[in-house]
Structure 1
Amino acid sequence: MDTIYVRKLSLVAVLITIGVIIAPFLWFPVLMTKAYPGQHMINVISGILLGPLWAALVAIITGIIRMSLGIGTIYSIPGGVPGAILVGITYKIMKRSKSIRKYAELAALTEPIGTVLIGGTLSLLILAPLIGDLRMVSKLEEGTIPALIFLWSGWALSSIPGAIMGFSIVTVINKVLPRLR
C-alpha cells in the first residue's frame, strides 16, 4: 500500500477519534440544536492536512459516531461536511497561488462560510422538513430570510470559535511538523 495513503488513513482515524472524544466535553446548547466547536476545529485541521474529500469523510464518520453515541444530532452532517470541503478546496487554491501561498492557512477561516451559510441553509430548507423537525420548520413561518438569519447566528457561535481553534492548531503544526502537510 502507498505510504502517503496509509498516512492519510492514519490521520483520518486520529482526527475522527479526537472529534468523538472531545464532543462530550466541548459543546453547548444553541437555539434548537447543540454547538460543537470541536467538530469545526477538526474540519479545519482535516481540510488543510488531508484535502476536501478526506475532510468530508472525517466529518461524516465523526458525525455518524457522535449520533450513534447520543452526543450529536443529525445536523452534524450538513453542518460539518460543507465547511470541511470548503476549507480543503480553499487551501488547495491558495497553496497553488504564488502570491498568497504563505497565507494558505487562512483557508481555515472559510469553515464558517461552508458550515453556516451552506450547511445551515441546507439544514433549514431541506433536512428539517425532510425529517419533520417542527422546531426548525416552525421558524420558516416567520419567513425564510429571518429563519435563516436566526439559524445562521446560532451556528456561527459554534463554527467561528472552532475555525479559530483549528487555524491556531494548524499554524502550530505547520511550524513544528512541516512534513505532515
Structure 2
Amino acid sequence: MTKTALRNLILAALFAAMAVLLSGLSIPVGPTRCFPFQHAINAIAGVLLGPWWAGGAALTTSIIRNALGTGTLFAFPGSIPGALVVGITAKVFKDKKLYAALTEPVGTGIIGAILSVYILAPSIGKEATLWLVMPAFLLSSVPGSLLGFALLVALDRTRWFQKNIGKTLT
C-alpha cells in the first residue's frame, strides 16, 4: 500500500468515525433524519480524498449507524451520492476544488432523494414522495455543505493543509 493510499484510508476511517460520533445530533423529518454533520463530513472528505474514498467513508458511516440503530436505510442514498458528487467535482475543477464542497446538496438533495423515493422506499415497503424527501434531504445537506465549506476555508487560510498534508486547496 502506498503512503498516499494509507493516508487516504486513515482519513476516510477518521471521517466515518466522526460522522458516527456526531450521529446523535440528528433531527427526525418524516421517514428520514436530518443529519447536517454527515453532509459537512461528505463535503470535506470529497474535497480532500476524492469520490471513491469519500463515498467509502459515507458507506461505512451508513452501515455503522444502521447497525447501532442511529440511522435509517435512507442514510445510504442520503449520504453516498453527496460524497461522490463532491469528489467528482473536486477532481474536475482542480483549481477551485474548495468550492466543490458546495455541490453536496446536488448529490444528496436531488440524486439521493430520487434514489430514495423511486428505488429504496418501494423496496422496503415504505411510501415516500419526492416533494417530502427532497426538502428533508436539502434541509440537512445545505447547512452541512456550508459548514464543511467554512471549515475547509478556515483550515486552508491557516495553511493547515500545506503544513500537514503538503498541499493547498486554492
Both structures adopt the same fold (TM-score exceeding 0.5): yes
Aligned to 2:89: 90
Q: 2:153 aligns with which of 150, 168, 171?
A: 171
Query: Structure 1, residues 6-61: CA drift from partner, whole Å, max 9, x if none?
Result: 1111101111110100111x211112221111110111011000000001100000
Query: Structure 1, residues 86-134: CA drift from partner, whole Å, max 9, x if none?
Result: 0001111111xxxxx2x32111111001101100001000110011114
Aligned to 1:48: 47
Task: Report the CA distance between 1:178 and its aligned residue.
Answer: 2.4
The code of the aligned residue for 2:137 comes to W
Match status 1:121 vs 2:114: yes
Aligned mates of 2:156, 2:62 — CA distance in 1: 26
Unaligned runs of 5+ in 2: none
Q: How many residues align?
A: 163
Q: 2:103 aligns with which of 89, 106, 110?
A: 110
Task: Report the CA distance between 1:172 and its aligned residue.
Answer: 2.0
Aligned mates of 1:79, 1:53 — CA distance in 2: 16
Aligned mates of 1:154, 1:51 — CA distance in 2: 26
Task: Report the CA distance between 1:177 and its aligned residue.
Answer: 1.7
1:72 counterpart SS class:
coil
Aligned to 1:76: 75
The code of the aligned residue for 2:149 comes to F
1:120-159 alignment, distance < 5 Å: 120-134=113-127, 136=128, 147-159=129-141
2:93 counterpart SS class:
helix
TM-score, normalised relative to structure 2 = 0.91
TM-score, normalised relative to structure 1 = 0.86
Aligned mates of 1:4, 1:106 — CA distance in 2: 23
Aligned mates of 1:174, 1:4 — CA distance in 2: 20
Aligned to 1:15: 15
Aligned mates of 2:30, 2:139 — CA distance in 1: 10
